[in-house]
């Protein structure tokens, strides 16, 4: 008898089941949403690589942290999993704001949309954005002076938002883009928080949600209507979406375009902004790494702004970012739902169960990483890359649902880091509270990052 057959009727170990008592459920919900990452890390430590939690009578949730299990769910058996219900809930989940875009859709619909949108991310297309990315970064840098205190997380959010607005909608950052960003933040908190009130109750939070939702939908609808009137390709993603047709000659409806735009706004700015924020934080704590980065930038750029062509001469700049995304993966957890009974790591995960892939735990596991808590960008040297276990480093995921914006994000982050670090260094400001992680969809610094700008 195989191990699989022997194990399949047992659930993996995990915390005691959370019964049906609403008060116990609420207490548990508050504890987990208050500190989800640490609660989950505690479970892995106590119970091993696959943790099982039973919630109420029927809900089974699994937490995975082993590279082989990531491979099973994301690659080998990817077609046996859909995005989890928490994404798809149209009232309280991400789907309320994202609709049925690339992040939340599944099956044939997702496949069709992915195929239609993929060309917008081809290298040639996104490389055309490099100049714009640097220009928008320079605009921020011009507003800095020596000694100025800035909230780096907020600044990076605004900058990546401006970049996404320009490249997706060919619009300069303006009130419209800010409205979309505000709605996206409000709904992340809704999806990840505990709200015991029915949604029809006009609590201040619900009223705010309705307000930002309406404003955002109006803004996007107006944009689409306006752009439908012109047929020229303006080089932005919206042009691509408006002009794309599938094999049957079918284009996208306004609703489909709306969902994809809002999805790209969410997926395309927070993640990159947080990757950069954590990089600035780490550089401020690691002067030797910072010095090596400065040496590379000075020898290649000699103080001028970077271009796309420079990126191949800036390997350490890339490693600095790669290692920051290992320690602080912007997408720290990915959730799926099993479509059938499916075997993972010797256990049968029953149909309908939720599966959470914890990238953060995997990126910090001493079995795959020497000195996992240390910031060592050289791990990603080309001659040392072989020692980086392939499936143990997945900031952009892998398999068919791999991040569509991977190359866009890495180009953008390298250009922003290079342009900024060749002019300035950033130091923690005296008033900054201890830096903590806030794990929403993206892993962000909880109280922002107050830093002082120093001219180099």
Q: Which residues contact 385 (CB under 8 A, 6 or more apart)?
A: none
| Least distance in angstroms from the C-beta of 231 to ligand HEM | 24
For the beta carbon of residue 89, count every other beta carbon within 10 angstroms: 15
Of 267 and 344, the one with the shorter C-beta distance to ligand HEM is 267
Residues forming contacts to ligand HEM in the complex (CB under 6 A) are 102-103, 114, 263-264, 267-268, 271-272, 275, 330-331, 334, 395-397, 401, 403-405, 408-409
Q: Using the 8-state DSSP alphabet, how is residue 376 labeled?
A: -
Of 223 and 452, the one with the shorter C-beta distance to ligand HEM is 223
CB 212 within 8 A of CB 186: yes
Structure tokens at 348: 């049968």
| Least distance in angstroms from the C-beta of 155 to ligand HEM | 16
| Least distance in angstroms from the C-beta of 5 to ligand HEM | 31
Q: Closest by alpha carbon to 285, among 320, 329, 322?
A: 320
| Least distance in angstroms from the C-beta of 77 to ligand HEM | 14
Question: Residue 394 and residue 377: Cα distance in Å, rounded?
Answer: 16
Q: Which residue has the tokens 């942290």?
A: 65
Of 275 and 421, the one with the shorter C-beta distance to ligand HEM is 275
| Least distance in angstroms from the C-beta of 414 to ligand HEM | 11
Q: Using the 8-state DSSP alphabet, how is residue 73 labeled?
A: I
| Least distance in angstroms from the C-beta of 94 to ligand HEM | 10
Which 3 state secondary structure label does DSSP give 450? strand
Of 98 and 348, the one with the shorter C-beta distance to ligand HEM is 98
Q: Closest by alpha carbon to 451, among 426, 434, 431?
A: 426
Of 209 and 263, the one with the shorter C-beta distance to ligand HEM is 263
Of 276 and 289, the one with the shorter C-beta distance to ligand HEM is 276
> Looking at beta carbons, which residue is closest to ligand HEM?
405
| Least distance in angstroms from the C-beta of 396 to ligand HEM | 5
| 9 phi and psi angles, rounded to 5 deg | -90, 0
- Cα distances (angstroms) measured from residue 9 to each of 163, 336, 348: 51, 21, 7
Which 3 state secondary structure label does DSSP give 355? strand
Question: Residue 413 and residue 213: Cα distance in Å, rounded?
Answer: 29
Q: Is 403 exposed, middle or buried (CB count within 10 Å of its CB: 0-12, 13-18, 19+)?
A: buried
| Least distance in angstroms from the C-beta of 435 to ligand HEM | 19
Q: Closest by alpha carbon to 268, among 129, 434, 366, 150?
A: 129
| Least distance in angstroms from the C-beta of 25 to ligand HEM | 25
Of 59 and 75, the one with the shorter C-beta distance to ligand HEM is 75
CB 157 within 8 A of CB 182: no
Of 28 and 380, the one with the shorter C-beta distance to ligand HEM is 380
Question: Residue 116 and residue 299: Cα distance in Å, rounded?
Answer: 41
Of 199 and 308, the one with the shorter C-beta distance to ligand HEM is 308
| Full strand arrangement of the beta sheet holding 424-428 | 149-151, 450-455, 424-428
Of 11 and 267, the one with the shorter C-beta distance to ligand HEM is 267
| Least distance in angstroms from the C-beta of 334 to ligand HEM | 4
Angle at 36 between CA 35 and CA 42, to 5 degrees: 95
């Amino acid at each position: 008898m195989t191990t699989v057959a022997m194990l399949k009727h047992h659930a993996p170990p995990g915390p005691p089941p959370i019964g049906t008592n609403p008060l116990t459920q609420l207490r548990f919900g508050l504890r987990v949403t208050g500190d989800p990452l640490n609660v989950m890390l505690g479970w892995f430590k106590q119970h091993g690589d696959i943790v099982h939690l039973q919630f109420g009578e029927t809900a089974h949730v699994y937490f995975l942290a082993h590279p082989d299990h990531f491979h099973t769910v994301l690659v080998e058996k990817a077609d046996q999993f859909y995005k989890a219900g928490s994404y798809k809930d149209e009232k309280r989940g991400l789907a309320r704001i994202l609709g049925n875009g690339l992040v939340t859709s599944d099956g044939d619909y997702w496949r069709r949309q992915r195929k239609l949108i993929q060309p917008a991310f081809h290298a040639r297309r996104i490389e055309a954005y490099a100049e714009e990315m640097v220009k928008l970064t320079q605009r921020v840098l011009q507003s800095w002076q020596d000694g100025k205190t800035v909230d780096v997380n907020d600044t990076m959010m605004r900058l990546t938002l401006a970049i996404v607005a320009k490249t997706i909608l060919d619009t300069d950052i303006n009130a419209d883009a800010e409205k979309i960003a505000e709605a996206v933040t409000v709904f992340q908190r809704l999806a990840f928080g505990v709200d015991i009130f029915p949604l029809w109750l006009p609590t201040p939070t619900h009223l705010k949600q309705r307000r930002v939702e309406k404003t955002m939908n109006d803004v996007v609808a107006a944009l689409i209507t306006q752009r439908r009137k012109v047929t020229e390709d303006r080089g932005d993603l919206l042009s691509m979406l408006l002009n794309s047709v599938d094999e049957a000659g079918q284009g996208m409806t306004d609703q489909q375009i709306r969902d994809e735009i809002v999805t790209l706004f969410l997926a395309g700015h927070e993640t990159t902004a947080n990757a950069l924020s954590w990089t600035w934080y780490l550089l401020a704590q690691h002067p030797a790494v910072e010095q090596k980065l400065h040496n590379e930038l000075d020898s290649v750029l000699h103080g001028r702004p970077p271009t796309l062509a420079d990126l191949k001469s800036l390997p350490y700049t890339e490693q600095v970012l790669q290692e920051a995304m290992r320690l602080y993966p912007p997408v720290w957890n990915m959730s799926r739902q099993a479509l059938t009974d499916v075997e993972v790591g010797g256990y049968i995960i029953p149909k309908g169960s939720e599966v959470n892939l914890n990238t953060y735990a995997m990126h910090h596991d001493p079995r795959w990483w020497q000195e996992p808590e240390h910031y060592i960008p050289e791990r990603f040297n080309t001659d040392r890359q072989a020692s980086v276990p392939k499936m143990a480093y997945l900031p952009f995921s892998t398999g068919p649902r791999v991040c569509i914006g991977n190359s866009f994000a890495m180009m953008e982050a390298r250009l922003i880091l290079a342009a900024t670090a060749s002019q300035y260094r950033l130091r923690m400001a005296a008033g900054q509270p201890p830096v903590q992680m806030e794990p929403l969809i993206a892993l962000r610094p909880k109280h922002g990052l107050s830093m002082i700008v120093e001219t180099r």
